[in-house]
Structure 1
Amino acid sequence: MTPGEPALASGNHTPVTEFILLGFSSDPELQKLLFGAFLFIYTVTVVGNLGMMVLIFTDPRLHNPMYFFLGVLSFLDICYSSVVTPKLLANFLASDKSISFEGCVAQLALFVVHVTAESFLLASMAYDLFVAICQPLRYGSIMTQGTCLQLVAASYAFGGANSAIQTGNVFALPFCGPKQVAHYFCDIPPLLRLACANTARAEVVLYIFSALVTLLPATVILTSYGLVLLALGRMRSGAGRERALSTCASHFLAIAIFYGTVVFTYVQPHGSTGDSNGQVVSIFYTIIIPMLNPFIYSLRNKEVKDALQRRLQVTILPC
């Protein structure tokens, strides 16, 4: 057998039909505490992002490209958080922490689709900001409805392609035991550790495509924000520059956490970090960032605050 070529399962082993998600801890008291914490985070994530989608959809003043992208971002945050968190919450309360082989495939595939799509959507949002600030007179002709839809479709196309490649890359390998996944969801690095075959080729595929779907959007984002900062430096209005810089700083912080944790998890030598470190880092991009995005991108925005105030007034005082 050549290096990196999948090995056939030994005749003494049977194919794995389910995996056990070990999660964070086996301590019952700690599990109850973690259940409460993650349930609160997931509730805030769903309510915050769903509320943002409804607000953007129902308020005509928010019908422009920037808020269209924010609405899609909220949708993506709900989707990929929901792929992971409900199973995590159930496992905190259940004695059986198993997930079927097919369920594990589906969880990984759906997660990669949405997290990759979000990576490229963030690049689209950075480009939209660049056009709005650096080319305001051409903004309407560049960021048309068709362009926005094409950018979202392209984000999902990249997500689907990366998901097909990464999921096929993992589950083309034989799994014949052990079946304990040292993680709280079916993620690529811990699954590769369970394959009863040489995973060198699979790891190369993981690194290459993970680098492409993070570094390409990150390059677009850094370039766009760099040009935006140069334009802001030439602004005459001190108050306007300070407000724009504050917005850019909060956006850039969220982007840095998202891409930094993704790169730390997937674009590094196999086994260079422990299982517990990988779980802690992955919490940020799977659970924390989806909760924070509505607050970072939307609720600090004056137009969104005004729209929310109008909506509350209509709801509380319908007459």
Structure 2
Amino acid sequence: MNAVLGIDISKAKFDAVLLQRDKQRHKVFPNTPDGFEKLKVWLTKHNICELHACMEVTGTYGEALALYLYNAGYQVSVVNPARIKAFGISQLTRNKTDKVDAQIIALFCQTLVPDVWSPPPAEIRELQALVRRLDALIQMHQQEVTRLQSGEYPEAVVASIESTMKHLDEQIKTLKIAIEKHISLHPDLQQQQNLIASIPGIGTLTAAKILAEIPQLKQFTSARQAAAFAGLTPKQRVSGSSVHGRTHLSKMGSARVRKALYMPAVASLKWNPLTQELYQRLQQRGKHAMAAMGAVMRKLLHLIYGVLKSGKPFSVDYGKQATMIAAAK
């Protein structure tokens, strides 16, 4: 059996728990390129040739280490934290420390053998970095707008806020141009962006974000699988005769994808007849407004999956047909 490495990662460091036959070892490394090299030396010291490393999805903190381990020839799994948490509860874990978390991740990997991760191509990683930076700048700009609107400030403070907003506006504009230029240099990305943007309510920027955050979208076996990846599948709370909770989104998936789809879902209610019909039907059935909006977001992702899978631009008739196929699966 291959050795298993559970990794609990944070901004500055990561805890590693190595399971090798009947032995368990623990060590802490800095989350830096030098720390990655020290990890490899440690693994070599213990005669590790074949290894399955596992870590949680942690935003940007774990990406460099996952890529390093992959390039070193090890198997790597990057797992939804909710799965790890549920596994830890099933093991009746009472303590929560970085070492214990790494141990749980290692046991999870050893017991359930999660799917192996592979990094997206370099052009996707660059696109992902660009769109995430753009999102960060937009968020900073909105924070400054909120400050300006929240109360009265001295003239010097107002001038500082307005100057920062102007600078952020320029940076946002520059990044949007950089994203479009990057996509134009890669014909496959350009074609996929055009297909996604053919769906009413979705613009080229949202298409770029979807391509960056779900680069393997076409590889899913169904639109429902894609929706599950984004956490857009409904989660019911019904048990016996006493529990009748409201159905809501599972949110056990990519929050970035859900964020990217929310405003296009709102816009699609004006421009897309398929989402208009869906939203109106759910409202007539008494569904909560946010539940109906979640269904619209899921519908848009189904349509995105459909145009990418077929290679054909959106059409109302095709959209209806795709919906019927997805519902039948």
**Same fold? TM cut 0.5:** no
Structure ranking higher in helix proportion: 1
Structure ranking higher in strand proportion: 2
Larger-Rg structure = 2
Could you say which structure has the greater relative contact order, defined with CA pairs below 8 angstroms and 6 or more residues apart? 1
TM-score between both structures, scaled by the size of structure 2:
0.26
TM-score between both structures, scaled by the size of structure 1:
0.26
